[in-house]
Chain A
Amino acid sequence: MEREEAIALYRKLVLIRQAEEKIREEYLKDEMKTPVHLGIGAEGISVGVCHCLPANSRTFGTYRNHALYLTVTGDPDGFFAELYGRLSGPGKGKAGSMHLSAPEFGLMATSAVVGTTIPVAVGAAFAEAYRKTSGIVVVFFGDGAIEEGVFWESLNFACLKQLRILFVCEDNSLAIHAHAAERRGFRSIPEAVAAFDCYQAGGDGSDVLGVIRRTRQALQMMSEKPKPAFLHFTYLRFLEHVGPREDFDVGYRCRPSREESEGLDPVLRFEKELLRSGCTLQDLEVVRVEVRERVRRAVEAAQKAPFAPPAELYRDVLA
């Protein structure tokens, strides 16, 4: 990877991480009145997959969507405005954290109900096939969505129609607090999906370069013969399901060792890669300082921005 590309990738990871760390700092002041599902530990998947996508691609996500929103838009101003409920947010404050979208950047929808955007993404991929256009559609969802009937209905239809869609499973093995073993009557997700006529790959989602490699392979195969691809990436959810805190001490899971944590932190891992490939600590610090300032300004602007006026309540219910 060229140095410029690598630094751009690092900048995205840092933007997401610092934006979420800023939320952690600010959230307990109770000015950001929206439930936040932070994705610290998961950044590598959205950043890596979206890094490979052609310009006309469209994406769909879940309520844990901050990384996806920031990676496709690069825009912390709209992001924080929406989290602070301001008119200048992409949803005019009506969406909040769980429903961030940016159709002008291809991020069509995210949802707070598990599995819900999966068939909608399939419909978007169907529209590409209907029009004989080449856009790729990607839908991100957690491992809990595999237990929803609609995942299987959607996968079936996408395979039946041989649509160009990436199903990206972000597997943290937790559904809120319930472990995979308490929820799965099947041996493994890849094995369960294997019966369907689609490409399949997966690996460690905290390794952003690995995510990029596997996504590129899948896209290459899709371009040779159109077919859905199922990508399964694991990661560690560093924080509680919803909210700004850690929850390793509440009893349902163990705190990872420092070594494990570092190995599962996509930002730290990529920093090590960059240092190995010739970047200096100084180079990385420059990016971090720039991004920190950018995030600080975005938060400050959002806090000062106006709320929607009452007339906005009734706007956009219908076209």
Chain B
Amino acid sequence: MKSSITFREAVNLALIKEMERDPSVFVFGLDVDDHKRIFGSTHGLVEKFGAERCFGTPLSEDAMTGVALGAAISGLRPIHVHIRADFILLAMNQIGNMMSNLRYMSGGKLRIPLVIRAVIGRGWGQSAQHSKSLHSVFAHFPGLKVVLPTTPQDGYGLLRSSIQDDNPIIFLEHRWLYDIAGEVDDERVVPLGQAAVLRAGDAVSLVCSSWMNLEALKAAEVLARKGVEVEVVDVRTVSPLDEQTIIGSVKKTRNCVVADYDWVFCGFGAELAALIGQRCFGHLDRPIERLGFLPVPCPTTRPLENLFYPSAATLIRAVEKLLGLEEADLSRESFYSYEQRFKGPF
């Protein structure tokens, strides 16, 4: 069945479908069963499936991650939820030392079907400890899969694939995506490891992760009015990475801007740039441009926060610079602003 729903509803629907399909699926973590329900994404689960299959935990991220791993190697399919990806840093021992390598060290005898869902990204003055993405950190470890959905269909279809997968998966949801609506076909499960071309173009490939896809689509719309057609490639999964789609796009457009929703230095954007540089060397007309967070901790105050994050405007400027175009007047453009959707305080 197809319907137009928000990303929040899409994630929620995927959880319900998988919990209905498989009694070994359960959802746990701080706040999953409180009245706010992780931005509404775990809405109705405790009522529908009971407190055995949807429950809050002590504030013990490290141990709860180990509990997820222990349940997974016992044949259950845990979904451990963090309302902020930053909190996962408390659990990196279980992720980097255990779940990423237990299968390898067991000679292939153990299966580790678990999903860690976490909310990433910009909110409302979230500052330095409620704003990280961390996908580069996770993807650095062999033995993990890392998923960054953008569209509601992908929020639904990639989450269902992740829950059905027999490997540990880090599933990162940008906070601003929850309110974004789109068509979702509930029979469409999206396989991991496939990038998607969200908009076709011939001038420049914008290779993007998570929220940067929405900024890129806005940039593409503005640039198209100036006669520049850019192609937007959503990587969708960081690991495994769909190299073919990315390389195919860059070979076609001969120009590339990598826009990652994370710090640039030693980040996923560097990995993409290295891949494209190596595999598209003779096909590139200009050097690869990279955009991402500026190399500072995320500041709270709005004027500095606006500088910290890459946006449609910075993407437009990057494309103009790359192609040697004049800077367009953006003063009449309407860009996404959370202020229009949300007023503080909490």
Which of A167-175, A182-190, A297-305, A311-319 touches B? A311-319
B57 contacts partner chain A, Cβ-Cβ < 8 Å: yes
B301 contacts partner chain A, Cβ-Cβ < 8 Å: no
Which of A66-74, A123-131, A220-228, A243-251 touches B? A123-131
Bound-complex Cα distance A160 to B94 (A)? 21
Bound-complex Cα distance A83 to B226 (A)? 67
* With contact pairs A157-B58, A157-B60, A319-B167 given, residues A95 and B66 touching in the complex (Cβ less than 8 Å): no
Bound-complex Cα distance A117 to B67 (A)? 10
* B108-153 residues at the A interface, CB under 8 angstroms: 108-113, 142-143, 145
Of the residues B52, B57, B98, B109, contact of A104 by C-beta under 8 Å: B109
Bound-complex Cα distance A103 to B143 (A)? 19
Which of A8-16, A29-37, A107-115, A278-286 touches B? A107-115
Of the residues B65, B74, B107, contact of A90 by C-beta under 8 Å: B107
Which of A17-25, A146-154, A260-268 touches B? A146-154
**A317 lies within 8 A of B74 (CB):** no
Residues of chain A within 8 A (CB-CB) of B97 are 111, 113, 116
B278 contacts partner chain A, Cβ-Cβ < 8 Å: no
Residues of chain A within 8 A (CB-CB) of B102 are 109
**A127 lies within 8 A of B76 (CB):** yes
CB distance from A317 to the nearest CB of B (A): 5
Of the residues A108, A122, A125, A156, contact of B73 by C-beta under 8 Å: A108
Residues of chain A within 8 A (CB-CB) of B142 are 317
Bound-complex Cα distance A101 to B105 (A)? 8
Residue of A nearest to B75 (CB): A127
Residues of chain B within 8 A (CB-CB) of A109 are 73, 98, 102, 105-106, 110
**B112 lies within 8 A of A94 (CB):** no
* With contact pairs A116-B94, A126-B70, A319-B112 given, residues A156 and B104 touching in the complex (Cβ less than 8 Å): no
A92 contacts partner chain B, Cβ-Cβ < 8 Å: yes
**A108 lies within 8 A of B110 (CB):** yes
Residues of chain B within 8 A (CB-CB) of A92 are 107-108
* With contact pairs A111-B97, A119-B67, A160-B58 given, residues A95 and B106 touching in the complex (Cβ less than 8 Å): yes
Residues of chain A within 8 A (CB-CB) of B108 are 92, 315-316
**A128 lies within 8 A of B74 (CB):** yes
Bound-complex Cα distance A127 to B167 (A)? 18
Of listed B70, B75, B167, residue having the most chain A CB within 10 A: B70
Residues of chain B within 8 A (CB-CB) of A104 are 109
Residues of chain A within 8 A (CB-CB) of B165 are 319
B300 contacts partner chain A, Cβ-Cβ < 8 Å: no
Of listed A89, A111, A119, A315, residue having the most chain B CB within 10 A: A119
**B106 lies within 8 A of A157 (CB):** no
**B74 lies within 8 A of A127 (CB):** yes
* B159-176 residues at the A interface, CB under 8 angstroms: 165-167
CB distance from B132 to the nearest CB of A (A): 21
Bound-complex Cα distance A89 to B102 (A)? 15
Residues of chain B within 8 A (CB-CB) of A94 are 104-105, 107
**A119 lies within 8 A of B63 (CB):** yes
**A119 lies within 8 A of B64 (CB):** yes
B103 contacts partner chain A, Cβ-Cβ < 8 Å: yes
For the A-B complex, the count of residue pairs with Cβ-Cβ distances under 8 Å equals: 144
**A123 lies within 8 A of B111 (CB):** no
Interface of chain A, helix or strand or loop or mixed?
A: helix
B62 contacts partner chain A, Cβ-Cβ < 8 Å: yes
* With contact pairs A124-B73, A319-B167 given, residues A119 and B62 touching in the complex (Cβ less than 8 Å): yes
Of listed B52, B65, B67, B142, residue having the most chain A CB within 10 A: B67
**A124 lies within 8 A of B103 (CB):** no
A214 contacts partner chain B, Cβ-Cβ < 8 Å: no
* A34-59 residues at the B interface, CB under 8 angstroms: 58
**A123 lies within 8 A of B107 (CB):** no
Residues of chain B within 8 A (CB-CB) of A117 are 66, 98
Residues of chain A within 8 A (CB-CB) of B62 are 119, 149-150, 153
**B26 lies within 8 A of A122 (CB):** no
**B71 lies within 8 A of A127 (CB):** yes
Bound-complex Cα distance A153 to B64 (A)? 8
CB distance from A67 to the nearest CB of B (A): 19
**A157 lies within 8 A of B64 (CB):** yes
Residue of B nearest to A87 (CB): B107
Bound-complex Cα distance A149 to B71 (A)? 20
Of the residues B63, B78, B105, contact of A95 by C-beta under 8 Å: B105
Residues of chain A within 8 A (CB-CB) of B112 are 319
CB distance from B23 to the nearest CB of A (A): 9
A99 contacts partner chain B, Cβ-Cβ < 8 Å: yes
Residues of chain A within 8 A (CB-CB) of B93 are 113, 116, 150
A91 contacts partner chain B, Cβ-Cβ < 8 Å: yes
B69 contacts partner chain A, Cβ-Cβ < 8 Å: yes
CB distance from A278 to the nearest CB of B (A): 42
* With contact pairs A130-B52, A319-B167 given, residues A124 and B74 touching in the complex (Cβ less than 8 Å): yes
Bound-complex Cα distance A123 to B166 (A)? 17
Residues of chain A within 8 A (CB-CB) of B216 are none
13 contacts across the A-B interface (CB closer than 8 A): A101-B109, A120-B70, A121-B70, A122-B70, A123-B66, A123-B67, A123-B72, A125-B70, A150-B66, A154-B66, A318-B103, A318-B145, A319-B113
The 4 A-B residue pairs with the shortest CB-CB distance in the complex, in nearest-first order: A123-B70, A119-B66, A127-B74, A153-B63
Starting from the known contacts A116-B66, A123-B68, 12 additional A-B residue pairs (CB-CB under 8 Å) come to A103-B109, A109-B102, A122-B70, A123-B66, A124-B70, A127-B71, A130-B76, A150-B60, A154-B66, A157-B57, A319-B103, A319-B113
